Structure 1
Amino acid sequence: MSLDWIYWAISWILLRWHSLWDAIGVSAGQVIGTNWAWILSIIFLVVTVRVILFPIFVKQIKSQRAMQALQPKVKELQEKHKGDRETLQKEMMELYRKEKANPLMGCLPMFLQIPVFLGLFHTLKRLHPTNPYKDLYGWTVGQFDNAANAKLFNAPISGRFGSTATELANLGASTTTVKIVAGILVAIMIATTYLTSRQMILKTGWAEDPQQKMVQRLMLYGIPVSLLVSGSIFPIGVIIYWVTNNLFTLAQQQWVLRKFPPPPTIAKATAKAAPAKTPATPTGRGPVKPARAAAAKAQAATAEPAKAQPAKAAGLFGRGKANGAEPVAEPAAQSRAVAPKPGAKPVNPKKNRPAKRR
C-alpha cells in the first residue's frame, strides 16, 4: 500500500502554515540561529492534528472510564474461571459487548497519529540540499531549498544525532552543535513521553486486568526506554513534533481528566495506595522520632497510676460517706495545713496567750 497520500497531506498542512507565517513576516531571516517560520509550522502541524483528533480523545477517556467501572465484574470473572483462560476471554468479551466498552479505544488516538509521524519523518528526511527530487508532494524548488536550510539554534531540522560528519558538512552544520541540540531534544522527548503516561496512570489508577496492566507498563517504561535508541535516528524536526505533541497531550489530559474524573471506586483505591504520612508532633513542628515517641509513651504509662491514686482515694471516701460513716480526714492534708510556710518566722504559742489573772 502506497503512503503517498500521507506525504501529500502532511506536506500540504506544513506548507499552508509556512505560507501564513511568511505572510505576517515571521520568516524574514534567522533569529538566534533559528528559522522560526518552519519551527512554528511544525508546532502548528501538531495543533492541527490534535484538534482533528480531539473528539476521538474524548471517546478514549469515556471508554477508559467504562472499563474502570467494569473492573469489579472482571475480577469476579477472573476468580470464577481461574485456570480456564479460553472461557475467561469469551466471558470478558461478552461483558465488554454487553456494556459497550472497547478495550482497544484507549490506544486508538496513538495509532491514528502514527501515519502523521511517518509522513513527517519521510518529509523531513528528504529535506537535503543534494536531493534531486525537490518538487514532490506539492513542494516548489524554492520551498524545498528554504526548508532544507532551516535551522534550530544553528542545527538543521533535517539533521540527526546519529548523522555522520559528511552528512552534516553537506548541510553546512557543525557536528558538535547538532549533537548538543539533538541530545537535549531527545532528553526532553523521553521525559515528556514518560510524564504523559504517568499523568494518566496517577489519575486513573492501575488496571485490574493483567493485559491492560501490561499495556500500561509498556507505555510508562517501555516506550521512553526505546526512545534512547530511536531518538538518535529522528531528524530534529521530528523530535520537535514529538515534544510539542507530548506537551499538548499533558495539557489536554489535564483538562479532560478534570472534565471526566475517574469513578469514585478508582479514586478511593488510588488514595489507599498512597503512602501513609509520618505522624507529626503535638506542636505540629515535624515528625515524631521513634525513640522520642517510645520515651513519651513510657513516661505517660508511669504517670498514669500516680494520677489515678487521688481519684481512687476520693472514691473510697465517697463510698464511706454514702454508707453513713463520717469521712476520714487525710493526715497529709492536716500536716500541710499546720506546717509553717518556707521562710516564715516561727510562731511562739506563749506570746499570744492571754495573761493569767491573779
Structure 2
Amino acid sequence: MSFFSAIGSFIMQPLYYAVSAVLVGFHNVIGLVLDPASGAAWALSIVGLTIVIRAALIPLFVKQIKASRNMQMLQPQVKELQKRYGHDREKLAQETMALYKEAGTNPFASCLPILLQMPIFLSLFRLLDQAAKNQEGRGILSDERATEFAHSELFGVQISKTFIGADGDHGVQIMALVFVLAMLVTTFTTQRQLMTKNMPASAMTGPYAQQQKIMLYVLPVVFAVGGVAFPIGVLIYWTVSNLWTMGQQFYVIRRNPAPGTPAHKAKEERERRKGKLPASDDTVTGTVVDEPPTHQRVQPKRQSKSQRKNPKKRS
C-alpha cells in the first residue's frame, strides 16, 4: 500500500502546489482587509479559488453543454438505429458512433469538466483535511497557516470541522447541513434546468433521457450523503462551484438555446418584442389579429298588409 500511496502522492503533488498557491495568494490579499486568522478570510479565499478554477474551465463547460444537448437531440435517431440493428450489438455500436461523429459530438465530452474537477477537488479536500486534523501544510501552505486555518471561525463555527466530526457542536452541524442542502438544491436545479429548458420533447424519451432523469434525483442524494464527511471549507468550495455552474448554464442556454426547445421559443419571443424578428403568424406588430367578421343574417323587408294578402303586389 505504501508503494501506491507514494505514486498517488507524486501525482497529486503538482495539484497541491497549484491549489495552495491560489488559495494562499487570495488569503494574502484578503488578509490586508480582514483578520488573516478569521474564518471569513479563509472562506473568501476558498471562494476566490473556486472562481479561478471555474473560469479556467469555461471552454470545457461550453463543450459539455453542447455535447449533452446534442446527445439528447440525437436520441430519436439512436432509437431508429436500435430498431434496425438491435439484433447486432457490434453493428449498432458502430452505427451509433458514426452518427455521433457525423453530428460532431462525443458522448465523453459531457464528462470532461467533472473529470477534470475531481482531482482538483480531491487535492483541496486533502489540503484542508490535513490542515484541520494535523495542522500540516502541503504545497506552499505552511504548517503555521495550516494551524491558522484549523482554528479559524466563521460566525463562531470552525470551518475545518465536518458534520460527522462535530463532536456535538450544534453550530458546526447546522452550518454543515446548510451547505449540504445548498449543494443538493443547486445540483438538482442545474440538471433540471438543462432538461426542461434546453431539450426538445422528442429528446425526452429513450435510454439516455431515462439515464438523465435518474441522475437528476440520484446525484444530489449522493452528494448530500458524501457531504457530511467534508470540512465546511470544502462544502463552501462545492456550493460556490454549483452556483457558478447554475448561473453559467443559465447564460449559455439563454444566449444559445437548442432549436425546438422551450428556451429557443423564449429567445424568439424576446427578440420579437425587441423588434429583431418579424411577428409570428398569429400576431401583427405585437397585437392579436382580429377574427374574421361573422356573416350577419339579412332581415327581410317589412311588408304591408295588402302585400301579405296579395303576393303579386310584392314585386
**TM range, normalised to the smaller chain?**
0.7 to 0.9
Cα distance in 1 for partners of 2:233, 2:313 equals 97
Structure 2 length as normaliser, TM-score?
A: 0.75
User: Offset of 1:79 from its aligned partner?
Assistant: 2.8
Conserved in 1, the CA contact under 8 Å of 2:16 and 2:138?
A: no
Residue matched to 2:187: 193
Given candidates 95, 98, 101, the residue that maps to 2:102 is: 98
Could you say what secondary structure the match of 1:14 adopts? helix
Given candidates 215, 220, 241, the residue that maps to 1:219 is: 215
User: Offset of 1:212 from its aligned partner?
Assistant: 2.3
Residue matched to 2:241: 245
Conserved in 1, the CA contact under 8 Å of 2:27 and 2:36?
A: no
Cα distance in 2 for partners of 1:82, 1:11 equals 51
Conserved in 2, the CA contact under 8 Å of 1:155 and 1:178?
A: yes
Given candidates 149, 152, 155, the residue that maps to 2:151 is: 149
Equivalent residue letter for 1:61: I
Cα distance in 2 for partners of 1:135, 1:255 equals 38
Conserved in 1, the CA contact under 8 Å of 2:257 and 2:264?
A: no
Structure 1 length as normaliser, TM-score?
A: 0.66
Which aligned pairs between 1:111-260 and structure 2 lie closer than 5 A? Answer: 111-128=115-132, 131=134, 134-163=136-165, 165=167, 175-205=169-199, 207=203, 210-260=206-256
Cα distance in 2 for partners of 1:9, 1:269 equals 40
Conserved in 2, the CA contact under 8 Å of 1:69 and 1:263?
A: no
Equivalent residue letter for 1:21: I
Residue matched to 1:43: 47
User: Offset of 1:160 from its aligned partner?
Assistant: 0.7
Cα distance in 2 for partners of 1:113, 1:211 equals 26
Identity over aligned pairs, percent: 36
Aligned CA distance change for structure 1 residues 269 and 53 (closer, same or farther; 3 Å): closer
User: Offset of 1:183 from its aligned partner?
Assistant: 1.5
Q: Provide the aligned length of Structure 1 versus Structure 2.
A: 267
Could you say what secondary structure the match of 2:118 adopts? helix
Higher CA-based Rg = 1
Equivalent residue letter for 2:221: V
Cα distance in 1 for partners of 2:313, 2:189 equals 77
Could you say what secondary structure the match of 2:57 adopts? helix
2:28 aligned with 1:19: yes
Given candidates 7, 14, 19, the residue that maps to 1:5 is: 14
Cα distance in 2 for partners of 1:249, 1:151 equals 27
Cα distance in 2 for partners of 1:208, 1:87 equals 25
Aligned CA distance change for structure 1 residues 104 and 10 (closer, same or farther; 3 Å): same
Residue matched to 1:305: none
Conserved in 1, the CA contact under 8 Å of 2:130 and 2:137?
A: no
Using the TM superposition, name which of 222-231 and 117-126 deviates more: 222-231
Equivalent residue letter for 2:145: Q
Cα distance in 2 for partners of 1:147, 1:140 equals 11
Gaps of 5+ in 2: 1-6, 267-296
Could you say what secondary structure the match of 1:126 adopts? helix
Conserved in 2, the CA contact under 8 Å of 1:153 and 1:181?
A: no
Conserved in 2, the CA contact under 8 Å of 1:43 and 1:241?
A: yes
Equivalent residue letter for 2:171: T
Residue matched to 1:341: none
Conserved in 1, the CA contact under 8 Å of 2:79 and 2:206?
A: no
Conserved in 2, the CA contact under 8 Å of 1:42 and 1:241?
A: yes
User: Offset of 1:92 from its aligned partner?
Assistant: 0.4
Residue matched to 2:272: none
Conserved in 2, the CA contact under 8 Å of 1:190 and 1:228?
A: yes
Cα distance in 2 for partners of 1:52, 1:135 equals 25
Q: Over residues 257-314 of structure 1, what are the superposed CA-to-partner deviations in whole Å (9 max), with x where a residue is unaligned?
A: 12211122x449999xxxxxxxxxxxxxxxxxxxxxxxxxxxxxxxxxxxxxxx8996
Residue matched to 1:288: none
Q: Over residues 164-193 of structure 1, what are the superposed CA-to-partner deviations in whole Å (9 max), with x where a residue is unaligned?
A: 52xxxxxxxx61111111112211111111
Could you say what secondary structure the match of 1:45 adopts? helix
